Amino acid sequence: MKRQRIALVTGANKGIGFEVARQLARKGFRVFIGARKTEAGIEATTRISHEDGTAEFLEIDVSDARSIERAAETCARVTDWLDVLVNNAGIVVDGDDDVMNLTPEIFEGTLRTNTLGPLLVAQAFRALLAKSDAPRIVNVSSGGGQLTDGADGWAPAYCISKTALNGVTVQLAAALPKFAVNAVCPGWVRTEMGGANANRSVGEGAAGIVWLADEAPHDLTGKFLRDRKPIPW
């Protein structure tokens, strides 16, 4: 009997993360709903459990190294392995609108959540992932982090953090040759972060992430993708 696949999605209480978790649950995954806000995380977990499949809440604040360590310890007590890690949690903060006026607090806080957080989560959950037959890490990045076409000035700390996350992705891919490690741009999605004018639904934004977590060839690694196709860094 084939064992049930298990995934952890950070920032899964709302937006793209919630939709990714829901789609994975519908595909038969046991999904850990990673969130820093307990009430919101439990609410999301309950909703998915009632409507879509197997979900469990896991408290994790990716900006806090000790919280990440506690989450990994908690997870290891209730499962022997993890097949997929989706590093989805991310922030854009007020005041991130002009690179010449960025404060150290905005810059450091954004990188702590969007770049250092995914690295620390990958480190903390590596042992559980290594017990999978086909471990995968999916880092949710952004076209705003691409260097190819140059920056347009929007949310500079956020964009820089995603450029750095892409760097984390290729380093993890090199360090973990038995893993599939990729970064993905979901596009401009109608979420709290993306706004109402965005041109993609949450389902459309989640689709490429779910594909990398579930169906993509396992030898596809160290890439930056959108709509299942590699895009320039």
Tell me the angle at which helices 117-129 and 65-78 cross, rounded to the nearest 10 degrees.
Answer: 20
* Selected catalytic residue, list 32, 57, 158, 224: 158
Rounded CA gap, 216 and 21, in Å? 17
Residue type, 14: K
Rounded CA gap, 129 and 135, in Å? 6
Q: Which residues pair with 57 in a beta bridge?
A: 33
Q: Is 47 a catalytic residue?
A: no
- Known catalytic residues? 158
